[in-house]
Structure 1
Amino acid sequence: MSMKHSPKLRPGPWDLLVAAAVLALAVACGTAVWGRSPGDSLTAVVSIEGAEADRLSLASSAQRVYSNNGYTLEVEFCPGGETGVRVRSSDCPSQDCVHTGTITRSGQSIVCLPARISIQLVGDGPSSTDAVIG
């Protein structure tokens, strides 16, 4: 009685070609998603009492002062060479807007409730979409 042996499985040239194509596709997808530098086409929208007061591109560094409701905020765009926005100082009592730190991604915001001022990043920069379902 003879037993059948299963054939030896070895990768062939076509298998290596498929593996190389999958690897190249993975690298291309990774570069397309994460290859952008932070701040690519991001815009900071400053609203005072719900109305848009200022719209600035993050392409250049700037500092602005906004006042409302008896409070003043000093806002710094692209602080220390990094791409983003932060409230450098404020005379509001809670300092939540200062403690928020630098925001760098689309959809993030800084809000100063006593001053009724908000700063939001909009645009198609990195992480503007968390997931697509459907």
Structure 2
Amino acid sequence: MRSRLKWGDFVIIGTVLLLAAALTAALAAGTQGERLYAEIWQDNQLVERVALTDDTDRTIDLDGHNVIVLSGKSARMESADCRDQVCVRTGTLTRAGQVAVCLPNRVVLKIVGETGEIDAIVS
């Protein structure tokens, strides 16, 4: 038996594609105006907070244990002296909320955003 697409099938496919495009546009528009910062934490203490701009180009060495590279609006763990290398394999962080953690050295690299808008107020 041969199945054929009917008119209603095209309507459903078109609706799904339109919804996917709208969701993609909404997510992209929501992060465009956001200022990004890279926060580097070691032993539960903030070591440094760096604003990520198009001109950012820094390398931060944490006592030879971890090397963090900040390039443009992205950050990554370049190297670590731990055995598992999970933090290095995490890759490049580019969006707010992304985190790379080196548990043996107690180092956390995270990207945080600042939108200036209030999400919610709880009293």
Structure 1, residues 67-105: CA drift from partner, whole Å, max 9, x if none? Answer: 3xxx61110012xx5x31101111111111100000111
> Please, which of 56, 59, 62 is the counterpart of residue 58 of structure 2?
62
Query: CA distance change for structure 1 residues 92 and 54 in 2, over 3 Å: closer, same or farther?
Result: same
SS in 1 for 2:65: strand
1:39 and 1:84 in contact (8 A); partners too:
no
- 1:74 matched to 2:84? The reply is no
Gap runs ≥5 in structure 2: 1-20
Q: What amino acid is aligned across from residue 50 of structure 1 in structure 2?
A: N
1:39 and 1:104 in contact (8 A); partners too:
no
CA displacement at 1:61 relative to structure 2? 1.6
State the percentage of identical aligned residues.
Answer: 31
- 1:104 matched to 2:100? The reply is no
Query: CA distance change for structure 1 residues 118 and 39 in 2, over 3 Å: closer, same or farther?
Result: farther
Computing the radius of gyration from Cα coordinates, the structure with the larger value is: 1
| RMSD of aligned alpha carbons | 3.0
Query: CA distance change for structure 1 residues 30 and 101 in 2, over 3 Å: closer, same or farther?
Result: closer
Q: Superposed, which structure 2 residues align to 1:27-38 within 5 Å?
A: 33-35=27-29
CA displacement at 1:124 relative to structure 2? 3.8
Match of 1:43 in 2: 37
Gap runs ≥5 in structure 1: 1-25, 130-134
* Alpha-carbon distance in structure 2 between the residues aligned to 1:58 and 1:95: 24
Query: CA distance change for structure 1 residues 113 and 41 in 2, over 3 Å: closer, same or farther?
Result: same
Moved over 3 A (4+): 29-33, 35-40
* Alpha-carbon distance in structure 2 between the residues aligned to 1:93 and 1:46: 20
- Normalization by structure 1: what TM-score? 0.59
SS in 1 for 2:105: coil
- Normalization by structure 2: what TM-score? 0.64
